[in-house]
Structure 1
Amino acid sequence: MDLNCSSPKSIPVVSTFSSPFDRSPDSSSTKKPISLWPGMYHSPVTNALWEARSKIFERLLDPPKDAPPQSELLTRTPSQSRTSIFYNFSSDYILREQYRDPWNEVRIGKLLEDLDALAGTISVKHCSDDDSTTRPLLLVTAAVDKIVLKKAISVDIDLKIVASVIWVGTSSIEIQLEVIQSTNENSDVSDSVALTANFIFVARDSESGKAAAVNRLSPETEREKFLFEEAEARSKLRKKKRVGRREFDNEAKRLEGLLAEGRIFCDMPALADRDSILLRDTRLENALICQPQQRNIHGRIFGGFLMHRAFEIAFSTAYAFAGLVPCFLEVDHVDFLRPVDVGDFLRLTSCVLYTELENPDQPLINVEVVAHVTRPEIRSSEVSNTFYFSFTVRPEAKAKKNGFKIRKVVPATEEEARRILERMDADLLTQ
């Protein structure tokens, strides 16, 4: 076999990526092993963010031996961490094609990756003590509190994401991100916000793995103070949820009501309501081996990649369920319960938990995605992430299908009924 790349029949293949440390002043003298580079899967924005923060990232990957922890906490303002990224869609056709979906809008899954990458960069900015002799904190995504799409995001119009730290606890940080796209130069700024997101990061000591204190936050403007107070209230609510689920009135009756119709499906399927469907019949499943190209700077699987994959299967689940192209509305909540490592066998299981049919013009489809890290060698399977998405159907698609109707989802088991009630109650608590 001729392996000579100069042969006229050979097509040479070269890397389209460069190391995020290539621009480091001393990169030639301290070349990092490739196993310590961030993965090569990531979007152009993620690559740009990591390149912009290359000095911090290089210290994160190669801290001094026996480096002490940060000795004194600093006080920072939201403006010190505020960062924006710009998508030049109107003139950069290559970038535009990388983000285009079949409906000429921005791919939401890819945007979720960028949001996580930007939030991570901002958390690094806020927690850095600018001292190269101390060991850096390990910052991980703990949860996504909410991501709400306010309007469709076109892939033909320039886009900007602006984000900053809005709240800090003892060892946790909340970051708010706004995706801005203006179709009119004179339009109000609030009208230009296409999507909002709130990410929560937690800090861990890079050696012990225990919770570590983070730099304080001092909001300056009235809006910054308002956002801080709102985030403080959300933090208290999350703590209440961890203590125990709020008891709602008539819970036994609610469970029985949900299960009654499901029993008819199981016991007398010929007589079941044709406008309803069992929860288990809405399920889809996907599995993958987590590859090195998908890792973050800590060598674990990038949280944005997990959200991207979860969104794709949630979208597919809503599509198969509704029979029409779904329209994404929001990420209700995401929990990052345990890290996912390179080489892990990851199973994603999705289902439609429940539907809301009160508004016939915008029926809601609530989809749950659960990610399991599976270890066949030791017969182990652990939940690593839970994701909750809300979809509706595209108005233009619904208009073409006369008599379109979304079916009601009913549980067949008490465990399914409790999952539905818990999610409904969680939504009520956040309203």
Structure 2
Amino acid sequence: MERKPLDSLISKTGLWVSRNGHLHGIRSCETSQKYIRITMDCGEVIQVRNSRSSRAARSLRNHKYHKPCKRCRLAEDRIKEFSNKTSRKDEVRVTVRTVQSSQFNSARSEIPDMTVLSGDLQPSNTTKQPAHRSPAEKPQPAVAQTFKPQSRTQQPKITKPTNHSFQKHAKPEKNEFTQTQKNRILSLLAPNEMISFSKEKRSFAELESVLLTQRKKDLRTMYEDSRENMLGKLERTITEFFVDMGFLEVKSPILIPFEYMERMGVGEDKELSKQIFRVGDNMCLRPMLAPGLYNHLRKFDNVLPDPIRIFEIGPCYRKESDGGNHLEEFTMLNFCQMGSRCTRQTLESIIGDFLDFLNIEYEIVADSCMVYGDTIDVMHRNMELSSAVVGPIPMDMDWGINKPWIGAGFGLERLLKAKHDFKNIRSVARSESYYNGICTNL
């Protein structure tokens, strides 16, 4: 059976079940795309999500409540009808009015939290008093009323009070964090912070509160000091470096024909094609910058002076988000030089000058890949920063290139992770959850 959303159940029953089980009548109800604002007959106003599986939705769907609200003054027939689960399908007790989200949210600050209902928090006196009592009669203690006089032969045994002074004091239980709580705490840590959950003495609520306060302070400090996004700032720094080195900056389309990937040796029959985001039948989001650079080199050949030096910085997309070093959307830097002096020594010299400029430690190792064959990998500890190639290679003829060339590609997010020792690459990527490595889900 399909579960109806909360506004549908309210419209059908005209009733509301609060958290403490009190059954309320509904005077009016307004709904936006996500929320519902409900005004009770007793005057209380609450705001809740329009959910199919919330506690309130289950209570209304199953007709469960503790007792009716006294201030709402519900009629007996409405309560009986709700309890017997025989409400008529064609009856609409409450008109649910749809309002714009902006109008709905503007009044949100004036609405009390749904967990605080003044009508439901009245203390109840459950102690029953005698029906008749003379003025001279004094109330007897409850203990005296529970025992009757007994004969000596039936005297109860007197139990000696336990001497608690000899009992061992129970050791305080060790704080244990669930995996969800651990992930939340780790997301709130700054890049230079560490934590040991096995030695942590604070509770999750206390620890989260401390970290939230510090992260808010960090974000305010960033706003007052620099106001520069790390990823954008690094892109501008790299652009300035390569322009000063004599490279020409180019910008290629992000949406490219899938034919370009076939020229790169990544056809539909290849395993790597599963990492490509297809758009329609013939287009895709570029997973690399190489196709655009190939086209620019061919068009600039015999126009620009030898050697031709170009670079590009831009977003790329691959279906490989597993692990702490991969992203589905990432920013690439590719530089290449075509013509004279295209040797491995020149390539390693450019890479060395670039990483020294960024103050990042590295080492160069030999490797190979399906697209380019033999490559030169640039490593920072166990993380690959770049894959570099010394051409020519066989696929050059498919792009109309017939001269020697050298080139390398770097992931900007990995450069930031290496430079600032970030634990997770997502904290420095294009994100709405982080700003410069600081969590914004506060």
Q: What is the TM-score when the length of structure 1 is the normalising length?
A: 0.22
Larger RCO, structures 1/2 (Cα 8 Å, 6+ apart): 1
Q: What is the TM-score when the length of structure 2 is the normalising length?
A: 0.22
Which has the larger share of strand? Answer: 1
Between structure 1 and structure 2, the one with the greater Rg is 2
